[in-house]
């Protein structure tokens, strides 16, 4: 699967998780107050409570942050992770400082954040000359 396919798959997974969260929210709401009637003006079933609005705003903010990060930086992050996995660098910081431009990042700080939580490279990984050029993102 190519990078765009992977990015699309991650976006679909994120949408799926958001829909599951919305469904859980509706089920919890109905368990507390009864079944929601959209056209009902019954005061026991307010269509927008403050708690529901807060959860919706939080979910939208989380999704916005996720989409900004993933959408803009995902190809560069994948390239940097491939460089880190080659085993050439002794630390994530050193890898980020030396490879951030090659990977497609604009600054070192963002590249460092992309390597947070990255697994330690396989000790048997052997750096082959030219491997960095193979993972360079197309522009």
Could you write out the DSSP letters of every residue in 45-75? S-S--HHHHHHHHHHHHHHHHHHHHHHHHHH
Render pLDDT for 99-134 as a digit per residue (tens, 0 to 9).
999 999 988 998 998 898 888 887 766 544 444 444
Of the listed ranges 12-16, 70-74, 88-92, 131-135, the least confidently predicted one is 131-135
Whether the pTM exceeds 0.75: the reply is: no
């Amino acid at each position: 699967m190519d990078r765009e396919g992977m990015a699309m798959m991650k976006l679909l997974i994120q949408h799926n998780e958001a829909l599951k969260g919305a469904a859980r929210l509706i089920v919890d709401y109905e368990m507390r107050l009864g079944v929601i009637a959209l056209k009902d003006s019954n005061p026991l079933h307010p269509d927008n409570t403050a708690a529901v609005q807060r959860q919706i705003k939080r979910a939208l903010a989380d999704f916005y942050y996720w989409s900004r990060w993933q959408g803009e930086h995902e190809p560069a992050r994948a390239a940097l992770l491939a460089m880190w996995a080659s085993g050439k660098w002794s630390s994530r910081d050193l890898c980020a400082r030396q490879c951030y431009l090659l990977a497609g990042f604009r600054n070192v700080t963002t590249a460092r954040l992309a390597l947070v939580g990255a697994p330690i490279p396989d000790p048997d990984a052997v750096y082959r000359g030219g491997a960095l050029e193979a993972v360079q993102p197309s522009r």
